[in-house]
Amino acid sequence: MSDETTKTQQPELPMPEPGQSVPYQRFSEVTEARRQAEAQIEELRSQVAEMAPVRQQIEDLSAALQAERVERQTVEVLAQHGIGDRELRELVRWSYDRLPAENRPAFADAVATWKANPDNAPLALRPHLQNAPPAMPTSDRGTMPAPAVNGTPDPLSMTSDMDKWRAHREAILSDLKW
């Protein structure tokens, strides 16, 4: 602020004509302004040099983010078509990448076409894209088998009737033995 006030208080000196001498005051003002500008330029250059690694890190992170987005979209497309196995996903990506770049459909369109008509899919994918119904997972693993209809009665259902329980005690004890 003091620079602004001193400049406004000092009268502006006219520029000398060619061949005339420059007043010392004008010469020292211009020289000092030049020194300040050069110092500021050096400071800014050092700041830019310090920012180069940060800029590189930003570019690397941006590239990694873009790769992750592509990977997520690829996995989502494959999951929509029931392709969840990691090795099969890699095989689909490999098959897609082998298509000629010229006139190559979008990844989602290619997978949808292959899934809809496996005979037009690359040979390596055909067995994996057949429309066989998926095997249902067994959800009764680790559970006790259902009691036989005419066999040994279920001890939990008979606890209310002690006479029936006593009558079938031997059958129940034989079922409990390992």
Q: Where are the domains of the chain?
A: 22-80, 82-130
Contact in structure between 13 and 25 (CB atoms under 8 Å)? yes
Mean pLDDT lowest among 1-15, 117-131, 143-157? 1-15
Which amino acid type is present at position 45?
R
Comparing CA positions, the residue from 152, 77, 148, 135 lying closest to residue 108 is: 77
Q: Comparing C-alpha atoms, which of 171, 166, 92, 164 is closest to residue 124?
A: 92
pLDDT at position 65, please? 94
CA distance linking residue 15 with residue 30, whole number of Å: 12
For residues 97 and 8, which has the higher predicted lDDT (pLDDT)? 97
| Cβ–Cβ < 8 Å for 79, 108 | no
- Report residue 4 as tokens: 């602004």
Tell me, what's the pLDDT at 13? 58
- Stronger pLDDT, 78 or 139, i.e. the higher one: 78
Q: Closest by alpha carbon to 114, among 96, 100, 90? A: 96
Nearest Cα residue to 112 out of 151, 82, 155, 149: 82
Strand, coil or helix: what is 89? helix
Looking at 35-49, 69-83, 134-148, which range is the least confident one? Answer: 134-148
Q: How confident is the model at residue 125 (pLDDT cuts 50, 70, 90)?
A: confident
The per-residue pLDDT for 142 is: 66
Per-residue pLDDT tens for 53-72? 888 899 999 999 999 998 88
pLDDT of residue 58: 92
- CA–centroid distance for 100 within its chain: 27
pLDDT band of residue 158 (cuts 50, 70, 90) is low
